[in-house]
């Protein structure tokens, strides 16, 4: 690979190799059907700046044992929306070479290419084109972004059925698993299980504050490290917010210290109970494995999202599909050395530990 990335990361003075951890044999014979994949969105920064080619993305996925592919048409299709025959042929050559399995396709609306309000007919035409493009690259499951009008989804039913397409509406924070929207999709899925369903985004299980945000405020001089760590530790221990506010007020706090109490205690405002996912699992065919930051240390953990609890629910309740990594930490352009490849590798070390495969 030409990407300037080393799989060996120095942790606590010792070299640790994610590649070796991922290449090892399964921890146990799996008794579930949860599989690992990657959304190419995770590598978009590297692709945009020509640090990774499509082949290098597939090579990386194979090396970490994550064979399921979730893709955004605008990210990977050369010549989008009219790819050449040679590009399509090359794509399939790479799919075969690296044993990649096309799992799900996401289509963002090209709203800046048109400067007039879009009618329902316009949207049906656009989505039909997306279906055709996705199928050209082997995708039969489509992630319909949160906010997609229900009128459009329903209008696409006969087209999806004719083309052999399943549409999963993205369940994205702050949408609740017991919301009226989810209930509506479930009612449709019970009637048309091969056409419509749910596509949960792991962001709905975010429970803890992101370390990056803390470190940025400390660097800016608006937050005191000792106080910030005290607040986070108290939150994890279940100390009442009022008691923490009282303690912080005794420390001659900066304005940011006082505000950080509320910030931390709001971390779980949209966090869903993983058990609420159980009755919805029959209507889910793919999971969007969002994450922002993996921990350092001897083991890798998600710093914000309760992956262990959710993976346990999926394994024990018959989920049959992929969890595809979606790394979003690269959005913070003030971290010049962010390494999305290493971050995805760390997430898959964690997933392999949780899933056993």
pLDDT of residue 307: 98
**What are the C-alpha distances in Å from 125 to residues 9, 115, 141, 320?**
48, 16, 18, 31
pLDDT in tens, 77-98: 999 999 999 999 999 999 999 9
Beta carbons of 152 and 120 less than 8 angstroms apart: yes
- d(CA 285, CA 281) in angstroms, rounded, equals 8
| Average pLDDT of the chain, as a whole number | 90
- Residues above pLDDT 90, as percent of the chain: 80
Average pLDDT, stretch 17-28? 61
Residue 136 pLDDT exceeds 90: yes
- d(CA 235, CA 214) in angstroms, rounded, equals 14
pLDDT of residue 333: 56
Average pLDDT, stretch 221-236? 97
Can you state the angle between helices 225-237 and 241-249, rounded to 10 degrees? 160
pLDDT in tens, 296-323: 877 899 999 999 999 999 999 999 999 9
Beta carbons of 340 and 39 less than 8 angstroms apart: no
Asked whether the CA dihedral 176, 181, 186, 189 is positive or negative, the reply is negative
- Residues above pLDDT 70, as percent of the chain: 89
pLDDT of residue 110: 66
- pLDDT band, very low/low/confident/very high, at 9 (cuts 50, 70, 90): very low
Beta carbons of 315 and 355 less than 8 angstroms apart: yes
Instruction: Pick 253 or 3 by higher pLDDT.
Output: 253
pLDDT of residue 12: 27
Instruction: Pick 162 or 28 by higher pLDDT.
Output: 162
Residue 25 pLDDT exceeds 60: no
SS (H, E, C) the chain: CCCCCCCEEEECCEEEEHHHHHHCCCCCCCCCEEEEEEEHHHHHHHHHCCCCCHHHHHHHHHHCCCCEEEEEHHHHCCCCCCCCHHHHHHHHHHHHHCCCEEEEEECCCCHHHCCCCCCHHHHHHHHHHHHHHHHHCCCCEEEECCCCCHHHHHHCHHHHHHHCCEEEEEECCCCCCCCHHHHHHHHHHHHCCCCEEEEEEHHHHECCCCHHHHHHHHHHCCCCHHHHHHHHHHHHHCCCHHHHHHHHHCCCCCHHHHHHHHHHHCCCCCCCCHHHHHHHHHHECEEEEEECCECCCCCCCECCECHHHHHHHHHHCCCEEEEEEEECHHHCCCCCCCCHHHHHHHHHHHHHHHHCC
Residue 193 pLDDT exceeds 70: yes
Residue 10 pLDDT exceeds 50: no
pLDDT of residue 6: 31
- Cis previous bond, 85, omega within 30: no
- Cis previous bond, 281, omega within 30: no
- d(CA 341, CA 7) in angstroms, rounded, equals 8
pLDDT of residue 16: 43
- pLDDT band, very low/low/confident/very high, at 3 (cuts 50, 70, 90): very low
- pLDDT band, very low/low/confident/very high, at 329 (cuts 50, 70, 90): confident
pLDDT of residue 17: 57
Instruction: Pick 13 or 197 by higher pLDDT.
Output: 197
pLDDT in tens, 249-299: 999 999 999 999 999 999 999 999 999 999 999 999 999 999 999 998 778
């Amino acid at each position: 690979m030409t990407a300037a990335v080393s799989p060996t990361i120095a942790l606590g003075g010792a070299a640790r190799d994610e590649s070796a951890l991922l290449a090892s044999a399964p921890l146990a014979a799996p008794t579930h059907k949860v599989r690992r994949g990657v959304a190419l969105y995770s590598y978009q920064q590297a692709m945009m700046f020509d640090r990774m080619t499509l082949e290098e993305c597939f090579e990386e996925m194979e090396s970490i044992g994550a064979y399921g592919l979730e893709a955004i048409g605008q990210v990977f299709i050369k010549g989008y929306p009219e790819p050449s025959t040679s590009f399509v042929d090359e794509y399939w050559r790479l799919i075969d070479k690296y044993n990649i399995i096309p799992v799900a396709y996401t289509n963002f609306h090209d709203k800046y290419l048109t400067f007039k309000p879009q009618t329902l007919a316009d949207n049906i035409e656009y989505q039909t084109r997306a279906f055709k493009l996705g199928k050209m690259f082997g995708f039969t499951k489509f992630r319909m972004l949160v906010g997609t009008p229900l009128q459009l989804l329903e209008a696409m039913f006969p087209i999806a059925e004719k083309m052999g397409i399943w549409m999963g509406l993205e369940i994205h924070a702050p949408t609740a698993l017991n919301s009226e929207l989810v209930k509506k999709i479930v009612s449709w899925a019970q009637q048309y299980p091969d056409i419509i369903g749910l596509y949960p985004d792991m962001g709905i299980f975010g429970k803890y504050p992101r370390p990056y945000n803390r470190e940025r405020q400390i660097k800016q001089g608006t937050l005191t490290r000792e106080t910030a760590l005290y607040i986070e530790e108290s939150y994890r221990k279940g100390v009442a917010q009022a008691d923490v506010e009282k303690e912080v007020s005794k420390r001659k706090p900066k304005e940011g210290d006082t505000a950080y109490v509320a910030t931390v205690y709001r971390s779980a405002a949209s966090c869903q109970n993983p058990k609420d996912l159980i009755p919805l699992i029959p209507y889910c065919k793919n999971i969007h494995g969002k994450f922002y930051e993996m921990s350092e240390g001897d083991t890798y953990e998600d710093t914000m999202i309760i992956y262990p609890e959710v993976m346990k629910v999926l394994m024990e309740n018959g989920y049959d599909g992929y969890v595809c990594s979606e790394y979003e930490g690269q959005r913070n352009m003030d971290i010049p050395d962010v390494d999305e490849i290493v971050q995805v590798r760390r997430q898959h070390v964690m997933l392999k530990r949780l899933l056993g495969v």
